[in-house]
Amino acid sequence: MRKNSKNPHNKKQSSEDHDASDEEIFKNLGNRIKAHFEEILQQPEFSEEEDENTGLLIIKSANSWIELAANQPNPEMLFDEFWFEGELCILFADTNLGKSILAVQIGNSISKGEAIEGFRLEAKKQMMLYFDFELSAKQFQNRYSIDYQNPYPFDDNFKRIELNPDAIIPDKMSFEEFLSKELEKSIIETNAKVLIVDNLTYLKIETEKAGGALPLMQHLKALKSKYDLSLLVLAHTPKRDVTKPISNNDLLGSKTLISLTDSSFAIGESQRDKGLRYLKQIKVRYNEFTYDAENVAICQIRKADNFLQFEWLDTGSEREHLKQVEEKDRDKRVMEILELKKQGFSIIQIAQTTGLSESGVRKIIKKNNLLKE
């Protein structure tokens, strides 16, 4: 029988070969790890300047943002605390309260580099574009002349733009799209940085609906960022309750429009004296509220020779210019609401007709047991 004999020397040699193999593996692994870390260390450090325009988000430290902003010019007043450079601002009011009159006056001030009396102007004299979708050329002439004679001398920096009735809208393009395209074209051709749009409803149909207002405001915000613009946009308000202070709820499509603006202010009509107007800040981005409910700017509209304008009078409380509700007026309004409800009007329709809020209308109807839950 053959015996199984093993050479102890061979066993020792095998063990040494195995140890050498393990040692070689760990050595190679260590070299690879070392090389990997050296490669990482040789890579350039994160650079905010290099990465800031890549992708959707820009990452910088808070200190870097402040340092960046410090090298940019501070925004200057275009119309006192109401409108600053670089802002998309909305001026809103009911019809026939003087939105266009004030807007032309602001544009005239900027184009001449001269402040409106009672209000501050910090920005330098410059060109501005006034998109007038309200008045005809003849109506404009009448406002800024004396019986169509002796016209007011506007500065050449004041560029008035109106719709061309003979313009042909390209195929497969809506009126709003064509108008937006032409608006941008005017900016490029004139290199103007200040725009006043009178008024919002001509840029989009159904602006009072969120779906109509959103694309418009997004387009204006995009233009503002792309060309470093300052925009003042005029808008109408529906019938409002003149017993209550003006708020952002009084603007057509308010939630959408206000959220997309940098600032906004409104014109109110004094119920104490129908010849008086007051200006009130609704939203601010820079500084704090100056012309709030306790400090509205009180003005009157007056034609000084050949220029129709707002004339500063004083400041005061908005409360002094609201309608004081008497018991008989309150009862009359309740009867009107109940009658409209019986005729089948919706809560929204009644609110728009009476100028009350939807919640106010609902409370009155519910109190009189006419609200179907």
Domain assignment of residue 261, given as a range: 77-321
pLDDT the model gives residue 115: 98
Do 124 and 106 belong to one domain?
yes
Do 197 and 140 belong to one domain?
yes
Please tell me the distance from the alpha carbon of residue 50 to that of residue 237, in angstroms, as a whole number: 47
pLDDT the model gives residue 42: 63
pLDDT the model gives residue 240: 81
pLDDT the model gives residue 263: 95
| Listed range (130-144, 150-164, 239-253) with the worst mean pLDDT | 239-253
Do 279 and 344 belong to one domain?
no
Q: Tell me, what CATH number does 207's domain have?
A: 3.40.50.300
Do 238 and 111 belong to one domain?
yes
Q: Is the pLDDT score of 210 beyond 50? A: no
- Give the pLDDT band of residue 236 (cuts 50, 70, 90): confident
Please tell me the distance from the alpha carbon of residue 179 to that of residue 185, in angstroms, as a whole number: 10
- Give the pLDDT band of residue 33 (cuts 50, 70, 90): low
In-domain check, residue 205: yes
Cis peptide before 199 (omega within 30 of 0): yes
Encode pLDDT of 261-275 as tens digits: 999 999 999 999 999
Please tell me the distance from the alpha carbon of residue 33 to that of residue 35, in angstroms, as a whole number: 5
In-domain check, residue 69: no
Calculated CA dihedral for residues 150, 151, 153, 159, nearest 10 degrees = -160
In-domain check, residue 144: yes
Q: Is the pLDDT score of 251 beyond 60? A: yes
Please tell me which residue, 259 or 86, carries the higher pLDDT value: 86
pLDDT the model gives residue 121: 98
Do 311 and 357 belong to one domain?
no
Beta-carbon count within 10 A of 83 CB: 26
Do 220 and 290 belong to one domain?
yes
Do 285 and 354 belong to one domain?
no
